[in-house]
Structure 1
Amino acid sequence: MNASDLLVRCLEGEGVEYVFGVPGEETEDLLFSLRDSKITFVPVRHEQGAAFMANVHGRLTGDAGVCLGTLGPGATNLVTGVADANLDKAPLVAITGQGGLERLHKESHQALDIVGMFGPITKWNTQLNDPDIISESIRKAFKVAEYEKPGATHLEFPEDVAGSETDTTPMDPRERVRLASPDSELLQRTHAFLEEADRPLIIAGNGAVRTDAAARLREFVETTGIPVASTYMGKGTVSDRSPQSLLTLDSGDHQEASDAIEMADLILTVGYDIAEHDPAGWNKGTDTVIVHIDSEPAEVYDAYNPNLELICDLSAALGNLTERMGESETQFDETWYSDLRKHILDDVAADPSGEDPFTVRTVLPVLRDVMGAEDVLISDVGSHKMQIAQNFLTYEPNTCIISNGLASMGISVPGGIAADLAVDAEVVAATGDGGFLMNAAEIETATRVGCGYTILLFTDDDYGLISEKQRAHRGESFGTGLTNPDFMTLAESFGIEGYRPGEWDELEEALRDALATDEMSLVEIPLE
């Protein structure tokens, strides 16, 4: 068959439903093969948006999202979103076109060393320089992207190879590689640490969400009464309704989670990822015992040198520890952290007066009230992300999507498309005016493919997080001011509903109306 047909049949065999991308001359054969397949090709307005869509698809489903760009600038435009997926441990397969093999040994139009460029930002990548390696390469790209810890892979597809013939057939996907069961001796030592502790605490990271360990972690904390502080990407692993939840690390205006960590005499990190959250921010150099429970050994780090590392399937480890603790009937006294939790919740639920201006922090309780527990909030990067991470109560895993590995601006609007296609729930894409205009063109993509989610846009005419840090360091800010279009007119130009509430009672009404519709909508929240 034609090599591009083979590649698409391999994608179908991997269960791919969507390919997000921008068409190019060098991907012509591949595009027409996609047209004749069961896969939906979603043309987007910028390759970065395509990569962010594949990224969020991977985080929400656990199956690699697929993005497509052509050679040269098409491939370079994918880089940020691919790197973001790799550091956020989101499974993603990127495919790029390339010129014919006969011209790649010399300087030629739009030709770059794309495989070399993608090397540092992927788990694995290669050039498909022979049609007979396509089947193996697609299988490897998905296998590597999806096994723990997941990330990005990349395949370069030269145009002359795409148009050639091959007798190769697709490889059958196999059951996904599973992590090993926990070592019994290490489990016993972990249990001994727990039995000796008075004030143990759990730090739940992205890995606890990603590996479906949340259910087991919830059983463990309910059995033992051990409190949990989550990383930004671990939000929802334990419900913030749980009396054991201390919300998130690095809690900004309320430091109770940090206080609890300093009071703890044993810390269990579950799926904790140093790329997401620097341990120097919470480990103050005490002699507290740390047990690292994850799919990979801990990074060598002077601020994070665990006493014990339990490298295994997280769910199995937590299930075993729950059984051991239940048999020993060990239940920890919750009074040492219960007041800290109460202070956090009182702070998060602060009710502004009718004359107070909108702030991200005070808007979040209103948003939480109108969203269901299973609804998905995708946060862009900026000062609003910090408030969402610290103050948006999250009740289920994968319902508050925050990029905190690479932490790239511009993810939420395209990410909303992927989320709306992937989940049967309402989706809200929260963003600031800085990140919004980086990928606002994808609103057209969203309306074209029939998406219906809400964009929550905080506007302050500024790169606010940078201004905050500059003022904290220097007492003033520079280079951060912006001007903006009339966002209600912009919404109208895209054919979507726009809301700009001016009072608190208008805010809740606008949010409820926006979430109630199956159409795209934009709610602008002017900040002072």
Structure 2
Amino acid sequence: MAIRTPWQQIVAGLEAEGIPYVFGLPGSAKQLYDALYDSSNVRAVLVRHETSGAFMAMAFARVSGKVGCCFGCPGPGVANLVPGILEAWSGCTPVLALGVRAPSRTYGMGAFQEADHLSIMRPITKWAVTVERPERAGWALRRAVSLATTGQPGPVYLELPSDIALEAVEMPDYRPADHAVRPAPDPDRIERAVKLLMQAERPVLVCGGGAILSQAYAAVDRFAESLGMPVLVTPAGRGIMREDHPLFAGLVGLYRTEYPKSVYEEADLLITVGSRMEEFQSGAWHYFPAQATFVQIDIEASEIGRNWIPDLAIQGDARLTLERLTVAAREAGLRPNQARLADLAERRAAALAQMERDAADDRVPLRGKRVVRAINRTFGRNTILVKENGAQDLWAYYWPYYQVLDPGCVVPPAEQTAMGFGVCGAIGAKLGRPDRYVVCTTGDGAFQMGLHELPTAVQEQAPVTWVVFNDRALGWPRWTQRTALGGRVIATEFSATFDFTAVARAAGCWAERVERPDELEPALERARRANDAGQPAVVDVQVDSEEHHPGFNEFHRLR
């Protein structure tokens, strides 16, 4: 037992939980940050906007496997967390949002920055709570972390009234939450799944974000290799397997290219693990293999049958379920089909060769496919790709133009695709994995929504490279206007914009503008060297706004 204020107890709890950063900006000097001043294990990261802090916390959680933490002051500060918490909610990411509420003694009387934060946060968190008694601070934090990390992960919100937060009382010792609780699958359903595998000739596995959250990297490799099964991914599941692995077969839905499309559509058994198969992943629910039986594996009961109705549902942790399936399949005598493996290898090699020809396109303005291939060649292994979701930077989603070469090295936005997530989140990813290069691919529209955080990267000594696909427009909405409105373009083109290189240099970053193909790889190499020297970098690439992958056009015809 010790005499502490609730904020001191919270900081002690963050230390015990292994949460090293709080992304945010302070308001009242006494709220949280005074307690952080005395901590040697939890560091305050000063952002320029609270939304950025929530984005950084989410990206940090994705790459580190730890809980990300962000903070908002009363009223507008907490409200500014909403886009990031909404993204974390959509992406099932364990983020702890801390807030301050108006004092209990005057709450409801129109106190300064008084707001009903819980009503804002409850729809987009697993739990939102006000700590009404000081001695309950530790319990509330442990409960919040437990809920954030157990079962289907997600964000939580915990706030302290500003007066109660400063009451020093006797506190019990903080006991960390158990983060390792994992539900195992029903053995009878594992047996049924093995029988379906025995009947299948062309099974495929589709991994979503739940496989990443489960840390199922080795389990996916073993399962796929033991059966010779190709593995496809959603954007959230990307990074579950090295993308130069012979069994990796690309992305699904909007993001598929020709080889992934053929592997997926010929499947006679579709197994999804940790994915809702939402609109973009499922091709607006039109892309289901015509002859396939469907097995859905998910940790969360409410996700079973949310979209497609499975022939067999298995509720369980992704890693544990795949491990048990692998053992059961081997015991049943299942082995890889060598003829199928040879066929897949031949088609995969053809897809890689075609990509290299496509990516050599030397027209001006530059093509997005050439840019992402050049990033891949220049940065190579040991690189985390952080993505936005615009019309031209979308090329980073299209395997094999970009190939993720190390497990766990992708930070995608979730289904909300909040613009600026990747631009800001790249800083959180670098702090989470300082041993990796971090490259963010972003359109110029999204970059302008995170441009204010360039000084944060400099300040935090987080050498990230941002590659801006600059088509001087909000490319996706403009494309929609041109196709759906007969070419009536309104409010999607930038007639005035930033000189990104000038802004980046003023913030302390290295920066270069690229207009020709022969300038691209030398500029990326200089950016990489700047990162090696500890300096963030911006490469502003002038790209063609008209070219889109055929899968982009195909998907939109279905909507």
CA-based RMSD of the aligned residues comes to 2.0
Higher mean Cα deviation, 292-301 or 375-384?
A: 292-301
Distance in 1, Cα, partners of 2:298 & 2:306: 19
Q: Is this contact kept in 2: 1:84–1:407, CA < 8 A?
A: yes
Q: Is this contact kept in 2: 1:200–1:265, CA < 8 A?
A: yes
Structure 2: segments with no counterpart, 5+ residues: 545-559
Deviation at 1:63, TM superposition (A): 1.3
Deviation at 1:268, TM superposition (A): 0.7
Q: What amino acid is aligned across from residue 404 of structure 2 in structure 1?
A: T
Identify the residue that residue 200 of structure 1 maps to in structure 2: 203
Cα 1:84–1:353 shift into 2, 3 Å: closer
1:519 aligns with 2:535: yes
Cα 1:298–1:248 shift into 2, 3 Å: farther
Higher mean Cα deviation, 355-364 or 405-414?
A: 355-364
The CA deviation string for residues 70-115 of structure 1, in whole angstroms up to 9 with x for no partner, is 0011111110011111111111000111211122123333211001
Identify the residue that residue 45 of structure 1 maps to in structure 2: 48
Identify the residue that residue 192 of structure 2 maps to in structure 1: 189
1:334 aligns with 2:344: no
The structure 1 residue matched to 2:167, chosen from 164, 167, 173, is 164
Distance in 2, Cα, partners of 1:35 & 1:408: 32
Identify the residue that residue 315 of structure 2 maps to in structure 1: 311
Q: Is this contact kept in 2: 1:262–1:284, CA < 8 A?
A: yes
| SS of aligned partner of 1:115 | helix
Distance in 1, Cα, partners of 2:226 & 2:484: 45
Distance in 1, Cα, partners of 2:16 & 2:195: 46
Distance in 1, Cα, partners of 2:350 & 2:90: 33
Identify the residue that residue 480 of structure 1 maps to in structure 2: 492
1:34 aligns with 2:36: yes
What percentage of residue pairs aligned between the two structures are identical? 28
Distance in 1, Cα, partners of 2:453 & 2:370: 28
Deviation at 1:502, TM superposition (A): 2.8
1:443 aligns with 2:463: no
The CA deviation string for residues 424-459 of structure 1, in whole angstroms up to 9 with x for no partner, is 111112211111111211111111121211111111
Deviation at 1:276, TM superposition (A): 7.3
Cα 1:100–1:174 shift into 2, 3 Å: closer
The CA deviation string for residues 152-193 of structure 1, in whole angstroms up to 9 with x for no partner, is 100111110111122122431143242222222111110000
Distance in 1, Cα, partners of 2:459 & 2:491: 36
Count how many residue pairs are aligned between Structure 1 and Structure 2: 527
Distance in 1, Cα, partners of 2:148 & 2:198: 38
The CA deviation string for residues 264-320 of structure 1, in whole angstroms up to 9 with x for no partner, is 111011111345745344544845211112212363657510011111232222223
Identify the residue that residue 405 of structure 2 maps to in structure 1: 395
Q: What amino acid is aligned across from residue 509 of structure 2 in structure 1?
A: I
Q: Is this contact kept in 2: 1:54–1:92, CA < 8 A?
A: yes
Q: What amino acid is aligned across from residue 440 of structure 2 in structure 1?
A: A
| SS of aligned partner of 1:366 | helix
Cα 1:253–1:91 shift into 2, 3 Å: closer
Identify the residue that residue 506 of structure 1 maps to in structure 2: 519
Distance in 1, Cα, partners of 2:7 & 2:212: 36
Q: Is this contact kept in 2: 1:251–1:390, CA < 8 A?
A: no
Distance in 2, Cα, partners of 1:163 & 1:324: 56
Cα 1:68–1:368 shift into 2, 3 Å: same
1:230 aligns with 2:240: no
Cα 1:230–1:137 shift into 2, 3 Å: same
Distance in 1, Cα, partners of 2:480 & 2:255: 13
Q: Is this contact kept in 2: 1:87–1:275, CA < 8 A?
A: no
The structure 1 residue matched to 2:248, chosen from 245, 251, 269, is 245
Cα 1:101–1:426 shift into 2, 3 Å: same
Query: Which residues in structure 2 correspond to 1:327-476 (within 5 Å)?
Result: 327=331, 328-332=333-337, 333-334=340-341, 337-338=344-345, 340-349=347-356, 350-391=358-399, 392-423=402-433, 424-476=435-487
Structure 1: segments with no counterpart, 5+ residues: none
TM-score, normalized by length of structure 2? 0.90
Distance in 2, Cα, partners of 1:185 & 1:321: 11
The structure 2 residue matched to 1:21, chosen from 17, 21, 24, is 24
Distance in 2, Cα, partners of 1:157 & 1:303: 39
Identify the residue that residue 129 of structure 1 maps to in structure 2: 132
Cα 1:103–1:306 shift into 2, 3 Å: same
Q: What amino acid is aligned across from residue 352 of structure 2 in structure 1?
A: L
Distance in 2, Cα, partners of 1:6 & 1:377: 36
Cα 1:375–1:202 shift into 2, 3 Å: same
Distance in 2, Cα, partners of 1:286 & 1:64: 40
Distance in 2, Cα, partners of 1:59 & 1:412: 12
Higher mean Cα deviation, 497-506 or 337-346?
A: 337-346
| SS of aligned partner of 1:28 | coil
